[in-house]
Structure 1
Amino acid sequence: MFLTFIRRNDSAAAWLRLLVLASLSCVLLLADDFIQQRFSPNNRAELEAGWVAGLWVFCLALWLCNLRGLVVAILAVFAGMQLLQLANISFFGEPLSAIDIRSLLREPGEVGQTAWHSLGAHWHAAFSVLLPYSLLIALHWQVPSRVTLPASRWALVLIALVLLAKPYRATYRNLDSFTPGPTRSGLHNSLNAYSAWAVRLALRSEPSLPPAPFAPYRLSAIPSTAKHVWLVVADSLRSERMGVYGYSRQTTPKLQAYLREHPSAVVRPGVSAGVATDVSLPYLLNPIREPGQDHLLREGQVNLFRLARQAGLRTHWISSQESRLLAHLGSRYLDVSITREDHPLRFLERQDHALLEILDRQRFAERNFVVLNLRTAHLPYAQNYVHQGGKVPWPDQGAQAQGNAYDNSIHYLDGLLEELIARFDQLDGERYLVITGDHGQRLGENGQWGHNDLVPEVSDVPMIVISRDAPQQALEALKRERWISHYEIGKWLAARLGTRIDNPNLRANEHFVHGKLLFSDNFIQPVCETPAGLVHLPPMQLSQWLGKARLQGCGS
């Protein structure tokens, strides 16, 4: 009986050691981001509960498999990925993407030379990786030979599932599904980026695009007295389904009542820059009109957060969606960045209303640029308002369930906007509030739902501009427009933030809608303003459009 007790006690101690080692390993795998943050503000990684839990289980499996050679090889690969990841973050200010990996590997000599000459300024990237990974590899190499630990070959199945899950996902999802999130763990971004590169890019040659035949934009500082500039972007918001635009259902009664009391507001139909959030948001917050100018997205020359910070405004991004949407939005110019991952339970319980609670806790500076990103009308529509309970305006069950649910979500947004506008009205000084959507939505036309398609319903977004204590001329240009595109409102916002953008390539009454991909031979659609309305030209690939030197477009 005594020997049985001892054996049981030894077994319990072995499992306790295993749990401690798994926890320590998890901390070390997360440590590189937080070490680098002591040296560079470019690393904006935050702890996300779901990722930490998954990583801990993976660490447990690494110890359980009892194959230290395999484990050390996996950790060495992770360390190599993280060296490039943190170096890229330090040098460029953004996480590494699959396309960045392809570019780095195509020019190893130039990359190596740049890395060597930049080592003095960015040495901390290597230190941040080598310190925790050296300790972790030493633990796995030394501990199993010195202490007794539980072991199971079934752990290999879990390790294989974890390592192969993302490459398998890359076989059926496009590159935009693996866009890195600036506030995600570096290792999380690395697994996404390298998986997408290995499956989608490593063994495939993508044709090079013809050079974009455009003159550079000219930026000039102009006087700005705006105290508060707010931009509200609601997901999948189609103007045709809003009562304020003449829809037969009263989906926006509160907004309509407010606008009747404030006739100075500008209410126009809009044209989105893209058919997917991953595309339209970057083009909205980097006002770029002509397709094929990827360098402007990467360099952030016209980024609104950058322009705001240069003018002395405090910059805020508050989103009820994932942090990965921050890619190419200028996250390195943000003073405040809050996403769904920062408050997962609160957003799960309160959905977009959680954003109001977070907004109320912000400490605004004297001047602020605030972007609020809502999920309101995203599929599944009913999920966005179900937390409120009670009776909905239109039944979301039965044959018309999906269309009714979309209208209910707009009705829910109407109440949310009422509360947002009330907070905006309480501010002091010259201020501006823009309400728009990232893209529109197909709502049963020809049996089709959702977005991602270059059709008029998906590029249809609202454009509502409210001002307070503002000079009359600030809105004059917008009031002359019949439609306002994402590019036009972005350029107008830049002026409110103190920068005039002069575009020598501008063609009157011509807009562009981008397909669902970013940084690729994307499909684009020219949209022309005519006296009879908008004319959507047939979509064509970017390479074809550039190759024809813009022969197909409005006025051609």
Structure 2
Amino acid sequence: MLVLVSAATTALLLLDDRLQQWVSPNNRAQLQPAWVAGLMTIVMCLWLGGSRWVANAVIGAFAGMQLFQLCHIAAIGRALTPLDVAMIPHEIEDIAQAVRAGAATHWPTLFAGGVPYALAFALFNLGLPRLPLPRLRGALLIVALVFGLQFYNAGRYTMKRFMPRPERSSLHNSLLAFSYCGANLVGKSVRRNVLSYRAYTVVARDDPDAARERPRDVWLVIFDSTRTDHWGLAGYARATTPNMSRWVAQGQARWHRGIAGAASTRASLGLLFNGVREPGNIAQLRSHEANVLRLAKRAGYRTYWLSTQHGDLLEEIDAPSIDVVRTRDSDAARIAALGDDAILDMLDVVTPDRPRLVVMMLRTAHIPYHDAYRRHGATYRRWPDGEGSIEGARLVNAYDNAIVYQDALVEKLYRRFERGDGDGLFVVTSDHGQMLGEDGVWGHNVLTPQIAQVPMLVRGRGAAQAPLAGNGDWLSHNDLARALAWRMGFSIDNPNQDAGVDYLQGSDLFGDNLFRELRIVDGRLQLGELSGLGHAHGGAHDSGDRQAE
């Protein structure tokens, strides 16, 4: 009987996600066995404890969190973060306005959350006094220990660990967000790391050239962890980019020295797609007013997100503005078998009936480098990457082999792009660079020149698609976002922009994020001193800075 009622209660607590998925595409929660087992353990302890007061308190807390969580997922398209939770008391009026505006559309969400929790309350209140279950008051100590440990961990770890993931149960995301907020943000100014900026202005173009310059197709191909100086067309000694080099030599494409906005994929994509330049401009990030995908929708484009990486990268990119999403979560078997080549099959969902913005987020040069090309035998293994080689040289060789594969994949993607009608713009870049043993460092998530510099290539289809810049010119991700918006018919004005200044930011855009100012001096990239958002308020973060250095 104990197992039966515990399983039934656990099922009710997981049911809200399933019900919401019937009425909202924004809920992407999946059943995760470890979480189900943990939740059932808590529920079983509540039944063993025999206290209706404790059971009602716990289920009531879950229901309250889920009221905000499910409504946020329905309306905003993503799960709550700890900062979102902390801002709830400060934004009651705005929340009320949003609820009124979206009630006609999102009212089924209230039933998705309300019905399971009403049944859970009834089950406990009717069952505890009537069912002949064993009683073990000490089981309530386990419940207290579980929640106490959650708050303890929230005080020990950074906010990044407590950020939501779309594939998690929404209740799991709620527990993480609310516990971190309770342990770290209650009673504190949640705007302590938010700088004051003027809002961007987005205006639809009405000049005579707007319609002529508007491409029917925009394809943006983003590779992971690719740095400029390992592209052959940028002067690297090895011929890693034979196809793209040929395009540039024949005048069919232009390449640029790109500047990434951040040192991690999630942060870099958040800045790129939201068109945000400054550190700490959270209001602009969250508004999505200058979001490239949202502007594309306004311009009549059908938007696609096709990725061989996981869907949690969409957290800060305005997922509701994407019409079609295919990721590793939806195409796991195909991607496991084909790697990045699976993107060629994913492109079959792209329909030719209307203008299209197609974003492809691929891995290729991400660690482990050989994984990019291992499925193709010796086809792309130009330099030895096996046993017997010096470790550093072997890794660099594998990285360069991955770039060779990347170049071949770009050529295949462009052949697909060429099948389209009308003008088009085909852009290739990377989310951030990669450390390849400099100062003994490999990987990314460090604020160095190697991470800031990413390659960029632009090829147009049709006479109206003029180049974005000259070969070898510097072009930041922010410049790219504004250029794409301009081509799609929008002008983005940033009143905070300091001419010639960009930033390389750390991985936590919403915490006390580290950043470095970037400038181009005599054609070379110069990085300023390491800073933190706390510094802008006169805060002292010396220990964190030394650790990051």
Q: TM-score, normalised by structure 1?
A: 0.82
Match of 1:130 in 2: 114
Partner amino acid, structure 1, of 2:341: H
Matched, 1:421 2:414: yes
Match of 2:28 among 33, 46, 56: 46
Q: Which runs of 5+ in 2 are unaligned?
A: 540-549
Q: Is structure 2 residue 468 aligned with structure 1 residue 488?
A: no
CA shift, 1:355, in A, is 2.6
**Mean Cα deviation higher: 349-358 or 195-204:** 195-204
Residue type of the alignment partner of 1:54: A
Tell me how far apart the structure 2 counterparts of residues 388 and 147 of structure 1 sit (CA, whole Å).
62
CA distance, structure 1, for counterparts of residue 526 and residue 481 of structure 2: 22
User: How far did 1:242 drift?
Assistant: 1.9
Match for residue 515 of structure 1?
Answer: 506
Q: Which moved more, 1:535-544 or 1:381-390?
A: 381-390
- Give the one of 290, 293, 299 matched to 1:311: 299
Q: CA deviation at 1:542?
A: 3.3
Gaps in structure 1 of 5+ consecutive residues: 1-13, 549-556
Worse overlay, 326-335 or 361-370: 361-370
Secondary structure, aligned partner of 2:305:
strand
Deviation at 1:176, TM superposition (A): 3.1
Partner amino acid for 2:406? L
Please state if 1:461 is matched with 2:447.
Answer: no
Matched, 1:395 2:409: no
Q: Deviations over 1:383-433 (max 9, x none)?
A: 444444557343144423333332233233223223222211222211111
- What does the per-residue CA deviation read over 1:185-233, in whole Å, with 9 as the maximum and x for residues that have no partner? 4223223322432444347666735853547434233435311111111
Q: Does the 8 Å CA contact 1:528/1:536 hold for their aligned counterparts?
A: yes
Listed as ranges, the matches of 1:77-88 within 5 Å are: 77-88=61-72
Secondary structure at the aligned position of 2:69 is classed as helix
1:463 is paired with a residue whose SS is strand
Instruction: Name the residue aligned to 2:158.
Output: 174
Task: Look up the match of 1:7.
Answer: none
Distance 1:320 1:116, change over 3 A: closer
Q: How far is 1:530 from its partner?
A: 2.1
Whether contact under 8 Å (2:485, 2:492) holds in the other structure is yes
| 1:208 maps to 2:205 | no
Provide the C-alpha distance between the structure 2 equivalents of 1:456 and 1:340, rounded to a whole number of angstroms. 30
State the partner residue of 2:229: 240
Deviation at 1:25, TM superposition (A): 4.6
The alignment covers a number of residue pairs equal to 524
Q: Given the alignment of the two structures, is residue 441 of structure 1 paired with residue 434 of structure 2, yes or no? A: yes
1:429-477 Cα offsets, whole Å, 9 max, x none, are 11111111111111111111121222101101011111111415x31x4
d(CA) in 2 for partners of 1:151, 1:372? 56
Kept in 2: contact 1:396–1:404 (CA 8 A): no
Q: Which amino acid aligns with 2:26?
A: R
**Post-superposition shift, 1:379?**
2.5
Matched, 1:291 2:291: no
Code of the residue aligned with 2:27 in structure 1: it is A
CA distance in 2, matches of 1:162, 1:257: 60
Residue 150 of structure 1, CA deviation: 10
Match of 2:520 in 1: 529
Instruction: Quote the residue 2:546 is aligned against.
Output: none
Summarize deviations over 1:170-193 as a string: whole Å, max 9, x none: 556432343334565422322332
Pair 242,164 (structure 1): closer, same or farther in 2 beyond 3 Å: farther
**Conserved 8 A contact 1:286-1:303:** yes
Distance 1:537 1:294, change over 3 A: same
Return the alpha-carbon distance in structure 1 between the equivalents of residues 378 and 149 of structure 2.
40
Judge which range, 138-147 or 262-271, deviates more. 138-147
Q: Which residue of the other structure, out of 266, 279, 282, is the alignment partner of 1:278?
A: 266
Are the counterparts in 1 of residues 255 and 471 from structure 2 also a CA contact under 8 Å? no
SS of equivalent residue, structure 1 residue 341: coil
SS at structure 2 position matched to 1:513: strand
Alignment partner, residue 252 of structure 2: 264
The correspondence for 1:333, drawn from 314, 317, 321, is: 321
Moved more, 221-230 or 388-397: 388-397
Q: What is the percent sequence identity of the aligned residues? A: 35
What one-letter code is carried by the residue in structure 2 that aligns with 1:484? L
Cα–Cα, structure 1 residues 163 and 276, in superposed 2: closer, same or farther, change >3 Å?
same
Q: Secondary structure at the match of 1:467?
A: strand
The answer to whether the aligner puts 1:61 opposite 2:13 as a matched pair is no
Deviation at residue 300 of structure 1 after TM alignment: 0.8
Query: What is the CA-CA distance between 1:495 and the residue it aligns to?
Result: 1.4
Deviation at residue 366 of structure 1 after TM alignment: 1.6
Q: Secondary structure at the match of 1:270?
A: strand
The letter for the 1-side match of 2:119 is L
Pick closer, same or farther for the CA change 1:206–1:418 going to 2, 3 Å: same
Map of 2:367 onto structure 1: 379
Cα distance per residue 1:305-340 (max 9 Å; x no partner): 110000110011122222221122111211112222
Q: Is contact 2:234-2:472 (8 Å) kept?
A: no
Contact 2:295 2:485 in 1 (8 A): yes
Measured in 2, the distance between the counterparts of 1:149 and 1:209 equals 51
One-letter identity of the residue aligned with 2:269 = L
**CA separation in 2, counterparts of 1:263 and 1:461?**
21
